[in-house]
Amino acid sequence: MEKKKSFLAYLLWAFGIAWVLQITAGILYRKGNGAAYTMILAVSMFAPMLAVLLAKGKLKGMGWKPRLKGNIRWILAAWFVPAVLGTLGAALYFLLVPEALDLQFTALYAALGEAGLAQMEQSGLSVPLYVGINALAALSYAPWFNMFFAVGEEAGWRGAMYPLLKEQFGKVKGRILGGVIWGVWHWPIMLLAGYEYGTAYWGAPVTGPLLFCLIATVMGILLDYVYEKTGCIWVPALCHGAINAFAGVPTLVLNPAYSNQLLLGPLMIGLVGGLPMILLAAWLCPKGSAALAHEGGLG
């Protein structure tokens, strides 16, 4: 009973704090204040971790001390596997929809505009080089930078919520339920600002939030798996950061005419673009080990 009360309190705080922030960010986005929108969304990522404390749970014992011994391969996997999965998914999408591939970078030219292009030329950059630099950043330092924001979610979801759900419902059902909860947590910003899929996709605004629950479930399985394997909360945070870092890379070569079809691809949030990740998660879902149990969490 105590664990149930603690869990309900946790959900109320995690959703309440984040949804207030997401609604605020969505309103600012609609008013054209992109900088404030981005900043508030980044802050909202810490809501699940804060909710653990407000629900009288414990952050201590989640594996805050970096553990390199025996975990190097898992750290490398967390760092690079998301990019591999994203590349495979994008390649599959462009293979099935070749006209969606735009190596002329039409969308990027349009986004930069004449002023942006002139500034790039003054800096000695070309658009292809700019694309390459962005891709390199997504593979190198960006996952580590993003990790410090993602840890707010990982401490709350994988560190506190997932262990409780797996204990109550079993590994598979617990991970699936956790993923659905995580997906629903994003709904306000998806509905208000077109987060992830935009606003012009097929079945909007219903199909996007529903599909994202599947994608969040899939991502949650991968993140929980590396957490179980390492017992260090920074590893799923790194993996989460790597997913976020690579997320938009395929749009750099996406034909603008297909930007309203993100339900399919080329990003990992689409059914085709995300297929490699979905298949890997389906294989890993019943696997893993709770051998590296921690003392933190709820209850």
Within a domain: residue 294?
no
The encoded tokens of residue 94 equal 């462009």
Within a domain: residue 297?
no
In which domain, by residue range, is 122 found?
Answer: 2-284
- The answer to whether the CB of 183 falls within 8 A of the CB of 225 is no
Q: From CA 209, how far away is CA 34, in angstroms rounded?
A: 22
Average pLDDT over residues 26-51: 96
For the cut 90, the answer to whether the pLDDT of residue 32 exceeds it is: yes
Q: From CA 214, how far away is CA 65, in angstroms rounded?
A: 32
User: 181-238, pLDDT tens digit by residue?
Assistant: 999 999 999 999 999 999 999 999 999 999 999 999 999 999 999 999 999 999 999 9
Q: How confident is the model at residue 296, as a pLDDT?
A: 67
Residues facing 77 on adjacent strands:
none
Centroid of chain to Cα 49: 16
Q: From CA 180, how far away is CA 184, in angstroms rounded?
A: 6
Within a domain: residue 292?
no
pLDDT higher at 126 or 14: 14
pLDDT higher at 298 or 8: 8
Within a domain: residue 220?
yes
For the cut 80, the answer to whether the pLDDT of residue 5 exceeds it is: yes
Q: How confident is the model at residue 1, as a pLDDT?
A: 54
Within a domain: residue 298?
no
Q: How confident is the model at residue 239, as a pLDDT?
A: 98
**Size (the chain), residues:** 299
Within a domain: residue 289?
no
CA-to-CA separations, 140 to 69, 84, 145, 248, in angstroms, rounded: 22, 13, 10, 15
Q: What percent of the chain has pLDDT over 70?
A: 96
Q: How confident is the model at residue 125, as a pLDDT?
A: 79
Average pLDDT over residues 240-262: 95
Number of domains the chain is built from: 1
Query: Band of the pLDDT at 291, cuts 50, 70, 90?
Result: very low
Average pLDDT over residues 157-184: 96
Closest-CA residue to 245 (of 72, 18, 85, 58): 85
Per-residue 3-state assignment (H helix, E strand, C coil) for the chain: CHHHHHHHHHHHHHHHHHHHHHHHHHHHHHCCCHHHHHHHHHHHCCHHHHHHHHCCCECCCCCCCCCCCCCHHHHHHHHHHHHHHHHHHHHHHHHHCHHHECCCCHHHHHHHHHHHHHHHHHCCCCHHHHHHHHHHHHHCCHHHHHHHHHHHHHHHHHHHHHHHHHHHHCHHHHHHHHHHHHHHHCHHHHHHHCCCCCCCCCCCCCHHHHHHHHHHHHHHHHHHHHHHHHCCCHHHHHHHHHHHHHCCHHHHHECHHHCCCCCCCCCCCCCCCCHHHHHHHHHHCCCCCCCCCCCCECC
Output the average pLDDT for the chain: 93
- The answer to whether the CB of 147 falls within 8 A of the CB of 240 is yes
For the cut 70, the answer to whether the pLDDT of residue 24 exceeds it is: yes
For the cut 50, the answer to whether the pLDDT of residue 256 exceeds it is: yes
User: 42-99, pLDDT tens digit by residue?
Assistant: 999 999 999 999 999 999 989 999 888 889 999 999 999 999 999 999 999 999 999 9
Looking at residue 257, the DSSP 8-state letter turns out to be G
- The whole-model pTM stands at 0.94
Within a domain: residue 177?
yes
Within a domain: residue 175?
yes
Query: Band of the pLDDT at 289, cuts 50, 70, 90?
Result: low
With both helix axes pointing from N to C terminus, report the angle between 207-230 and 275-284 in degrees, rounded to the nearest 10: 50
For the cut 80, the answer to whether the pLDDT of residue 2 exceeds it is: no
Q: Compute how many other C-beta atoms are within 10 angstroms of the C-beta atom of residue 251.
A: 16
